[in-house]
Structure 1
């Protein structure tokens, strides 16, 4: 969509040829205009350099190209597994600056802090830092904490952790024509129009609650003073396996505004521990969480509605969406299509693009900002 001086477009392709897929999706998003930034979300099964060349052919030499590999792509016309979803925006009303940081060189927290330096000197009336980060290197919460250590509470954070083939445990991030691993891409976006952020999930508690009596980082050793895996199995769960994304267990950590969801995606059957990619604080009150498809679809609608509410009555130009792959596993193919339909019902004709993540980022208030099993939406007016 377009105002006199700002525009946002989205495109989607399922073409098998990587160069063609990138060019098709980018052409649909750009539509002959001059973009400031192009977001590319695609499967790691593609030839990534070839796909980026296809995008660049449509974007022109001056546009900044950023993106990440996915666990599925989402767009206004539906979802794909093995495709590419592109969003592009431009016009005098947007300012874009970027920074690439390498986790392997400096660690997760410092990489988040360095990526946040993209915000330096940005003076637009409204701004947000979008983070696209490696999804399999561990400690995603440290990336967000690093960004927060630089920006504080003044700048909202949104984004997602990249996905890829679970058995390979590699994800990729893009900046211009380069493909990175183990990186954090920071995209500072300034706008003369409002920015809205939505965060919702649709999961509910299974009583009774539990206490995390011993944990370190994302590893839970004990729940209610018993081996964590034994407690979860007794509660009707299953032992999660890192190589099988369908075996995860979800827990909700008590927060003042509801539950902060964590995915338990690994278990040690000898040590009887369970693990998450994000930290689970010792002493936290938590619940096993469950969600029927109808509730998860309603959560998607709630996220979009919250993002639009943040625009203060202004019409949305476009939306970026970061949706957890765990929601996809729970919904199935029919449920994913229904989720997209629910988003379209709320957004009307507003274009949107995004991807299924290994974890989501949304920090609007407080210092925390890493989420699982959640849909995060960023609306631009």
Structure 2
């Protein structure tokens, strides 16, 4: 499903955010939309909310404040943020509009089992977007598995010149069902098992940043056997055995799946890349075949490390990701910044640490508005065909 082009060219450019923790979805939607839009006509509105808020009443409140050409997209999350305000339960909105923006979208449906095809389908919205600067923003269901295939499919259409950014929808880390949103003033669909592509064209620069704050721990390991997101062997041994030994725990650690997942969150895998390490969260261990289960590819033959971090390095990475996006604007002032932060970082930092992270982020942006959500996988590709990340903070700055 595609929308028509939204080309706003008659007013000053703007970027707004809104946030609400009101318990009623209609009231929360109205409060967040009023703050984000402030009576302005947006090219696009992003709606990020916790599970339970994805109700028609929420979108009715947004639709009442937008024009006929406005695109509304978004998803459920594992947390949302807007200009320093952070919530587990609530809704955050980010919107922009004004001169020189072009927005086109496409929805790929029933994507499980055809993720690469779905990524290419979602990226088809780039066709017809003529602008000096372009980016493809993607919102995907976070529970489809092998999310890297979505990025590879999108790359097959976007090519090397168009940066990809975005995130995977969440459900407060319950891993039951996530929702994606797409529509406009005439109606908003509430979907699952979907990938939404948002082609953004602008007559001014856009910049991408990404950072994670993790460092290598111990010796490198070679992935001697893997299948997409499942790591079967490390250095010729069953991967689960190696992982447990490195953590100095035994099989009993798997008796409580939630406790094992929390333990693994603090020791992700770092996958060697030319530009550093891509992070892969270990979500589970399979006793039957002694494998480790991740949600993105860990290719056979790859060099990996267990990774470690400190509170300070995680906080520093927030400012890093913001700074990279700003620097990529080539000296032009930033209008606003979209943020895709990992839900696993929230677990690692804790409630107080997440607030500190947003303080650091805000300091680096120095008054530039920002908003986004906590995801179950982050998309950022500036070069090459790869671009699926975990435990990473991804930013998109608009000039």
TM-score, structure 1 as length reference = 0.96
What is residue 245 of structure 2 aligned with on the other side? Answer: 234
1:119-161 deviation per Cα after TM superposition (whole angstroms, max 9, x unaligned): 0011110110000000001110000000001111011100000
What is residue 184 of structure 1 aligned with on the other side? Answer: 195
> Retained in 2: the 8 A contact 1:213–1:223?
yes
* Counterpart secondary structure, 1:58: coil
Name the CA distance, whole Å, in 1 between partners of 2:275 and 2:88: 33
> Retained in 1: the 8 A contact 2:54–2:76?
no
Name the CA distance, whole Å, in 1 between partners of 2:76 and 2:172: 10
What is residue 102 of structure 1 aligned with on the other side? Answer: 109
TM-score, structure 2 as length reference = 0.92
The CA deviation at 1:4 is: 6.2
Q: Is the counterpart of residue 204 in structure 1 residue 215 in structure 2?
A: yes
Q: Is the counterpart of residue 334 in structure 1 residue 343 in structure 2?
A: no
The CA deviation at 1:106 is: 7.1
What is residue 51 of structure 1 aligned with on the other side? Answer: 58
The CA deviation at 1:59 is: 2.3
Name the CA distance, whole Å, in 2 between partners of 1:105 and 1:372: 20
Unmatched tracts of structure 1, length 5 or more: none
Q: 2:303 aligns with which of 285, 288, 307?
A: 285
> Retained in 1: the 8 A contact 2:143–2:178?
yes
What is residue 225 of structure 1 aligned with on the other side? Answer: 236
* Counterpart secondary structure, 1:154: coil
Name the CA distance, whole Å, in 2 between partners of 1:154 and 1:333: 38
Name the CA distance, whole Å, in 2 between partners of 1:242 and 1:188: 39
> Retained in 2: the 8 A contact 1:26–1:59?
no
* Counterpart secondary structure, 2:247: coil
Q: Is the counterpart of residue 30 in structure 1 residue 37 in structure 2?
A: yes
* Counterpart secondary structure, 1:44: coil
1:349-368 deviation per Cα after TM superposition (whole angstroms, max 9, x unaligned): 11111000000000101111
The CA deviation at 1:237 is: 6.3
> Retained in 2: the 8 A contact 1:166–1:243?
no
RMSD: 1.7
- With over 3 angstroms needed to count, the CA separation of the structure-2 counterparts of 1:133 and 1:317, relative to structure 1, is same
Name the CA distance, whole Å, in 2 between partners of 1:105 and 1:336: 32
The CA deviation at 1:62 is: 3.1
The CA deviation at 1:205 is: 0.4
The CA deviation at 1:308 is: 0.1
What is residue 319 of structure 2 aligned with on the other side? Answer: 301
Name the CA distance, whole Å, in 2 between partners of 1:372 and 1:120: 29
Name the CA distance, whole Å, in 2 between partners of 1:257 and 1:77: 29
> Retained in 1: the 8 A contact 2:88–2:172?
no
